[in-house]
A = this chain, B = another copy of it.
Amino acid sequence: MKTTKTINLKNRPKGKPELTDFDFTTSEIPELNEGEILLSSKYVSVDPYLRGRMSDAPSYIEPFELNNPIASGIIAEVLESKNNNFRKGDHVSGVLQWKETQAAKPDGLIKVDPDKASLSAYLGILGLTGVTAYLGLTEIGKPKKGETLLVSGAAGAVGSVVGQIGKIFDLRVVGIAGTDEKTEMLKSEFGFDEAINYKTTENMIQAIANACPDGVDVYYDNVGGKISEAVLFNINKFSRTVNCGAISVYNNTEMPKGISVQPFLVKKSSSMQGFVVFDYADRHPEAIKQLTEWLDQGKLKYTETIRQGFENIPQAFLDLFEGKNKGKMVVKL
């Protein structure tokens, strides 16, 4: 029987994940059953939300099992097919295991066209990343022309798309990121009106006030923690916060604490709402259609951080928490 390189979850990380939490093993590739396809992984997506699946606390998605493969968004090529809907040479996108080669039932996999966009884009701007940006902003942020949109984690995969969609919607768009190179990129590449480097800014409350002279109407929050506290002091009446993620606290070993949001919400008739892209599965095709259209029209750009090699998947994941990516982080096999 043939075998394939595989990455298992070895330990549930305590706090910050480490390379030793991952286990490189070899697993067998079973013969294809009727209806199955054999897949060769081409691009593997690493995403902050995977940190949640490495813990066994209840969340919106099942935890990974110990000593079993990790799974994430993957673009793969069909090597063999016992399914009439897929042919050798097709490319598919879906949640697959961290294996070089795997046999899979194609439930939930969709075919992607390498001639229409780069394969990696289907993990990013045309994948869950773009859909998260679009649906989170429209469904929960509900922005109106002329309003101010503030985005944290703005140079990340989701944030950089959120800001650009904000500009398509004629909003004032301000981003928060962690290096001058990133804030520069937000303005010059992605059309943000202003960008704040939180690592070199002492008074974030004042910096946000300066960058958002009319206050914040929509806050698309990818980071949580201290940055989001500073935002509270700048929210407008009836403002909406999209709680898309809280990467700044994902690795906390203690329950993260901070100033209470409730008094701010009451004073400003303001809302906060958690957004999980999987809740809106029926809306994904519509979102992808819109994103594809904007991409074709040149209204959306994207940036990627592409690492090379199967063995570098865990490190690429760890680097997300250090902000080492610009835009979507993927690993090319």
Q: What number of copies of this chain does the assembly contain?
A: 2
Nearest Cβ in chain B — how far from A223, in angstroms?
9
Choose among B52, B265, B276 the residue that contacts A274 (Cβ–Cβ < 8 A).
B265
Does more than half of chain A's interface fall in helix, strand or loop, or is it mixed? mixed
Q: Is the CB of B224 within 8 A of A262?
A: yes
Which residues of A line the B interface, CB within 8 A? 52, 58-60, 221, 224-225, 228, 237-238, 243-246, 249, 255-276, 279
- Extra A-B contacts (19), CB below 8 Å, given A224-B262, A269-B275: A52-B267, A224-B260, A228-B262, A238-B279, A243-B266, A244-B266, A246-B262, A246-B266, A249-B260, A249-B262, A249-B263, A256-B259, A266-B275, A267-B274, A269-B274, A270-B273, A270-B274, A271-B271, A271-B274
Residue in B closest to A255 when the chains form the complex, CB atoms: B259
Nearest Cβ in chain B — how far from A193, in angstroms?
25
Q: Is the CB of B257 within 8 A of A260?
A: yes
Bound state CA distance, A228 and B262, in angstroms? 9
> Hey, which chain B residues are within 8 Å of A238, CB to CB?
279
Bound state CA distance, A119 and B144, in angstroms? 44
Complex A-B, nearest 10 residue pairs according to Cβ-Cβ distance, in ascending order:
A265-B274, A271-B273, A266-B274, A224-B262, A256-B260, A243-B265, A59-B267, A246-B262, A269-B274, A255-B259
Q: Given the known A-B contacts A246-B263, A257-B259, are A279 and B269 also in contact in the complex, defined by CB atoms under 8 Å?
A: yes
Residue in B closest to A237 when the chains form the complex, CB atoms: B60
> Hey, which chain B residues are within 8 Å of A221, CB to CB?
262
Choose among B245, B258, B271 the residue that contacts A260 (Cβ–Cβ < 8 A).
B258
Residue in B closest to A59 when the chains form the complex, CB atoms: B267
Of A52, A60, A244, A274, chain B has the most CB atoms within 10 Å of the CB of A274
> Hey, which chain B residues are within 8 Å of A244, CB to CB?
266
Residue in B closest to A228 when the chains form the complex, CB atoms: B262
> Hey, which chain B residues are within 8 Å of A237, CB to CB?
60
Bound state CA distance, A323 and B246, in angstroms? 36
Q: Is the CB of B265 within 8 A of A269?
A: no
Q: Is the CB of B257 within 8 A of A257?
A: yes
Bound state CA distance, A268 and B52, in angstroms? 13
> Hey, which chain B residues are within 8 Å of A267, CB to CB?
52, 58-60, 274
Bound state CA distance, A60 and B262, in angstroms? 14
> Hey, which chain B residues are within 8 Å of A260, CB to CB?
224-225, 246, 249, 255-258
Residue in B closest to A235 when the chains form the complex, CB atoms: B274
> Hey, which chain B residues are within 8 Å of A245, CB to CB?
266
> Hey, which chain B residues are within 8 Å of A243, CB to CB?
262, 265-266
Bound state CA distance, A269 and B225, in angstroms? 18
Bound state CA distance, A270 and B245, in angstroms? 13
Bound state CA distance, A244 and B263, in angstroms? 9
Nearest Cβ in chain B — how far from A166, in angstroms?
21
Bound state CA distance, A87 and B258, in angstroms? 55
Bound state CA distance, A245 and B260, in angstroms? 12
> Hey, which chain B residues are within 8 Å of A279, CB to CB?
238, 269
Bound state CA distance, A268 and B266, in angstroms? 21
Q: Given the known A-B contacts A237-B60, A258-B257, are A272 and B265 also in contact in the complex, defined by CB atoms under 8 Å?
A: yes
Nearest Cβ in chain B — how far from A251, in angstroms?
12
